[in-house]
Amino acid sequence: MITLNHYLALGGMLFCIGLYGALAKKNAIAILMGIELMLNAVNINLVAFNHYLEPSKVVGQVFAIFVIVVAAAEVAVGLALVLNIYRRRLESNVDDFNWLKW
Partner 1 sequence: MVNVQILIIEILMAVFGLGILCMGLLVPRDSRRGIGYVTAVGLAVLLILAFVMRDASGVFLNSYIIDPFGNYFKILFLAAALLTAVCSFEYVEKTGMNQSEYYSLLVLATLGMMILSSSGELISLYLGLELMTITFIILTGFHLDNSKSAEAGIKYLLLGALSSAIFLYGLSLVYGATGSTVIKQIGFVVATNGASPALVLGTIFLLAGFAFKVTVVPFHMWSPDVYEGAPTPVTGFLSVASKAASIAALFRVFFVALPSLNSFWVQLFIVLAVLTMVLGNLVAIPQTNIKRLLAYSSISQAGYLLLGIVSFSVLGVGAVMYYSMLYVFGNMGAFMAATAFYNSDSSDEIEDYSGLAQRSPLIAAVMLFSLLSLAGIPPMAGFIGKFYLFMSIISRGYIWLAILGILLSMVSVYYYLMVAKSMYLGAPPEGSKTIRVNSSLQIAMVVSLLILFVLGIYPTPLTNYAMNTAVTFFMP
Q: Give the binding site for partner 1 (CB under 8 A).
A: 8, 11, 15, 18-19, 22, 28, 31-32, 35, 38-39, 41-42, 45-46, 49, 53-54, 59-60, 62-63, 66-67, 70, 73-74, 77-78, 81-82, 84-85, 88-89, 94, 97, 99-102
Residues 28/94, Cβ–Cβ less than 8 Å: yes
* Pick 3 or 53: Cβ nearer partner 1: 53
For the CB of residue 81, give the shortest distance to partner 1 in the complex, in Å: 5
CA–CA distance, 9 with 77 (Å, rounded to integer): 31
For the CB of residue 95, give the shortest distance to partner 1 in the complex, in Å: 12
CA–CA distance, 97 with 86 (Å, rounded to integer): 11
Residue 75 identity: V
HSE-CB for 67 with a 13 A CA cutoff: 19
* Pick 1 or 77: Cβ nearer partner 1: 77
